[in-house]
Amino acid sequence: MTDQTPVLRLEDIVKTFPGVRALDGVSFSVLPGEVHALMGENGAGKSTLMKVLGGILQPNEGSIFIEEEPTVMVTPAQAKAKGVVFIHQELSLADELTVAENIWLGELPRKSLGRVNWTKLYDDTNAILKTLNVGFDAKTRVGDLSIANQQMVEIARALTVDPKAVIFDEPTASLTDAEKVVLFDVIADLQSKGVGIIYISHRMEEIFKITDRISVLRDGQYRGTLTTRETNEEDVTKLMIGRSLDLSRNESHHEMGDVALEVRGLSCGKLYQDVSFSVRKGEVLGFYGLVGAGRTEIAETLFGLRDPSAGQILLNGQEVRIKSPIDAIANGISLVPEDRKGQGLVLGMNCRDNMTLPQVDDLTAGPFVSDGAEVAIFDQYRDKLDIRTPGWRQTVGNLSGGNQQKIVIGKWLSMRPEVLIVDEPTRGIDVGSKSEIHNLIRDLAAQGYAVIVISSEMPEVLHVSDRIVAMYSGKVMREFTSEEVTEDSLIQAISGIINGKVA
Amino acid sequence: MNKDILLKQGAIWAFIVVELVFFSVAGSYLSVSDSAFMDFDNMLLLLKQSAPIGIIAVGMTIIMINGNIDLSVGATYALSAIVLLDSMTWPFMQDLGDWAIPFAWMFALTTGIVLGAINGLIVWKTGVDAFIVTLGSMLGYRGLVFMYNGEQPTSHLNWTLVDFAEAQFLGLHTATWFLLGATLLLWLLMTRTVHGRNAYAIGNNREAAVNAGIRVGPHFLWNFMLIGFLASLSAVVFYSESGSVNPNDGMLYELWAITAVVLGGTKLTGGYGSIISTLGGVIAIQLLRKGLGHIGADTETVNLVIGLILIAVLFLDRQLNRKGKEELKT
């Protein structure tokens, strides 16, 4: 393989953002017909690197070579014209337009006078869709497709040109197993045509199944390239996080109290059906499943953001009706949402104001907000949660992800909840702060809070939970205790397999 | 799914039918005159009266599908009108006799295109929101209107022009032809051309469009030039007949145009909308004005009713678009 010309080679790429060196001298190369995995923790610089490759960002230093020719790509269109196709992780689709228009976005076939050549557009699209073996046609409106099918549309974009290199950024995040098979076929097909493929994924089993080599980034720096056949998961992990991953189960157990929250037969239309579970004081209940399994929607229902279509919610044995977050907070339920920056914090406000946001109505001295009371609350939880900030005047947008998450948690703790729901507690948080958040969750449970943790990361769920509920496509598949759970059984449960059979 | 599209795009026409029926029935009891509301000549006149706002509104549809808004069209309309009428009094133009007309039209239309281009360039190059940019240019262009002739109206009556504007071809007035022509051309532009489809894509998901290599700025520029052109076309059609422009003419036209676009179902956030439905929105508003006048309501009542209907329609639209009970509350 060494004497082949790489289809794509990066040399000493440096990309800086104000205050951050997002990429620090990254070099690696992709050979024709190779699937090259790019791995690294969140924030390691993978996405930035791919944006540089896709022509969306310009590197500050370093050069890109396509088939050993130095290349400068200033726009995504140029990158595509040069044969570098980028399949985005976040769906980058216009949902009011048809499948065909989305696939050929930016390069619709033309007739005279700038008219769209619809016949060619639909024919070409249907030909591509046929190879992907999907159940929709070129004229379908994208907004009417499921998330998985939208992902397939995104993938179909790679097939519109004769690519030299295709970048897949977490393509399987929302695909079912059957659709994954189709995707892997597409990749194998591209491979056989001599296309170089960069494959970004967090899923080790996929990486080891389909890739030839693995390059690892950490903190914006290139850490090395491994040949997949000669390595194992542990080595890759070590390279990624600089130490072995703590895959241990949650061992510490503490006294549990009465059932704090019980849910019976809860349903919400098509989102999830007949969900029952309970969580006791002092217990951490983990929810594990794929994106779209209905976990977040359950949390939103408990917090009064959705109306359930059936079922009961019982708090301390009493049935309650939660119609809005106001009811939820009054009943002692708090939600640390999935999207910290979008839903959990007001980024432009300072630390103190964010923390006292839900109770600022009560913190008054006469007609005015009482500064002293607010600062007192902030100080209390800053010390309790070990929030590292120069002071309460700091804008939360400038804090690190871990500290931001602690502000959100502090905000709810100051409301003295009984049930704390934490959705994806460590998304976008670096490895060091992750374990801190995990310990914090365990501590909170030990103090008698009932905690529900929703997570898509298996080590996290295994690490913090006393019990784990596995969900698949809106249904509870199985409930595990931390003693009986195994990684295999958990994966089977969230893929809809019960005792070896597909549900 | 086709049923959904039919429901969405048919709604405005159903509303027009309801209006027609209502005013015909109510008119027969309440009308001060004894002529029927659904008189053929009356309907032709209605189309003609829809033209000034209508021509601007179809342009506004494109701007809004594209994810922008243009508040300066009323001022552009007034300034173009002044250029149209005043240019015909220039000495060299008077020497041309009736040949001055095409030149006057050209000057007026160029004014619109240039003013639109200024908006478009600022939005493109500075990245400032179109709302703010055109709010500024709305004030600025109106200032130019007043600088031209102070508080005085600008007048010039050319009888050839008046004859042309008042002509009826196949029963329809000149203004109506311009409205229908503009609607047809813009409909073709938005449904058949790459520029139109890209405009939808940009309004729908700007990041996706950028990632796909669509250059957003030039599309903005073209669309702003187009609406500038249409605003002055609207002025040309109207003032060819009336021959006199007040410095306050065209005020609130931007809001009437936006009202028609929104009634026609175009999304304020962009990415979805239809030129034909906007035409429906324009006709619906004009019908409402005429109809309420027919049954004896005064102007103040007309505005109140239109305002209430607009809010009611958008509320209804929101209810129809809700994804059932399971939707996330916001």
Q: What CATH number does residue A37 fall under?
A: 3.40.50.300
- Going by C-alpha positions, the residue among A440, A447, A438 that lies closest to residue A418 is A447
Half-sphere exposure of A176 (CA within 13 A, CB side): 15
Is residue A59 within 8 Å of residue A13, measured between CB atoms? yes
A95: containing domain: 8-241
| Chain B contacts in chain A segment 2-31 (CB below 8 A) | none
* Residue B11 located in a structural domain: no
> CA nearest A272 in B: which residue?
B326
User: Which residues on chain B are in Cβ contact (under 8 Å) with A107?
Assistant: 212-213
A222 and A367 belong to one structural domain: no
Q: Which of A95, A106, A304 is facing B213, going by the closest CB pair?
A: A106
A233 and A323 belong to one structural domain: no
* Residue A305 located in a structural domain: yes
Distance from CA of A501 to the nearest CA of B (A): 31
Distance from CA of A271 to the nearest CA of B (A): 8
A59 and A204 belong to one structural domain: yes
A68 at the B interface (CB within 8 A)? no
Span A69-105, pLDDT tens digits: 888 888 777 888 888 888 876 667 888 888 999 888 8
* Residue B27 located in a structural domain: no
Burial of A365 (0-12, 13-18, 19+ CB in 10 A): exposed
* Residue B162 located in a structural domain: yes
A170 and A287 belong to one structural domain: no
A219 and A352 belong to one structural domain: no
Secondary structure (DSSP) of A85-154: EEE-SS----TTSBHHHHHTTT---B-GGGBB-HHHHHHHHHHHHHHHT-S--TTSBGGGS-HHHHHHHH
- Going by C-alpha positions, the residue among B226, B207, B198, B64 that lies closest to residue B130 is B64
* Residue B10 located in a structural domain: no
Binary contact (A113, B208; C-beta < 8 A): no
* Residue B7 located in a structural domain: no
Q: What CATH number does residue B190 fall under?
A: 1.10.3470
CB atoms within 10 A of CB B140: 15
* Residue A1 located in a structural domain: no
A276 and A149 belong to one structural domain: no
* Residue B190 located in a structural domain: yes
Binary contact (A97, B204; C-beta < 8 A): yes
A172 and A321 belong to one structural domain: no
Binary contact (A94, B194; C-beta < 8 A): no
- Going by C-alpha positions, the residue among A299, A159, B290 that lies closest to residue A168 is A159
* Residue A246 located in a structural domain: no
* Residue A253 located in a structural domain: no
User: Which residues on chain A are in Cβ contact (under 8 Å) with B208?
Assistant: 92-94, 102, 105
User: Which residues on chain A are in Cβ contact (under 8 Å) with B329?
Assistant: 304-307, 324
Binary contact (B212, A105; C-beta < 8 A): yes
* Residue A405 located in a structural domain: yes
* Count of domains for chain B: 1
* Residue A50 located in a structural domain: yes
> CA nearest A268 in B: which residue?
B326
What is the model's pTM?
A: 0.77
Q: Which residues of B163-196 are buried (b: 16+ CB within 10 A; e: fewer)?
A: eebeeeeeebbbbbbbbbebbeebbebbbbbbbb
B56: containing domain: 50-317
Span A95-123, pLDDT tens digits: 888 899 988 888 888 888 888 888 899 99
Distance between CA B45 and CA B42 in Å, rounded?
Answer: 5
A165 and A202 belong to one structural domain: yes
| Domain end among A241, A271, A301 | A241
A69 and A136 belong to one structural domain: yes
Distance between CA A156 and CA B286 in Å, rounded?
Answer: 47
* Residue A361 located in a structural domain: yes
Interfacial residues of B (vs A; Cβ cutoff 8 Å)? 1, 192-195, 197-198, 200-201, 204-205, 207-215, 271-272, 324-329
What are the φ/ψ torsions at residue A174 (nearest 5 degrees)? -125, 20
A222 and A268 belong to one structural domain: no
* Residue B175 located in a structural domain: yes
Name which of A116, A141, A300 to mutate to probe chain B: the one with the most chain B Cβ atoms within 10 A of its Cβ: A116
A236 and A310 belong to one structural domain: no
What is the residue-level pLDDT of chain B in tens, covering all 330 positions?
Answer: 466 667 777 888 888 888 888 888 887 777 666 667 777 888 888 899 999 999 999 999 999 999 999 999 999 999 999 999 988 888 888 788 788 888 999 999 999 999 999 999 999 999 899 999 999 999 999 999 999 888 888 888 888 888 888 888 888 888 999 999 999 999 999 999 999 999 999 999 888 888 888 889 999 999 999 999 999 999 999 998 888 888 888 888 999 999 999 988 888 888 889 999 999 999 999 998 888 888 877 878 888 888 898 888 878 877 776 655 566 666
- Going by C-alpha positions, the residue among B14, B18, B42 that lies closest to residue B294 is B42
* Count of domains for chain A: 2
Binary contact (A115, B328; C-beta < 8 A): no
Helix (H) or strand (E) holding B301: helix B299-321
> CA nearest A105 in B: which residue?
B212
* Residue A250 located in a structural domain: no
* Residue B3 located in a structural domain: no
Q: State the ipTM, two decimals.
A: 0.80
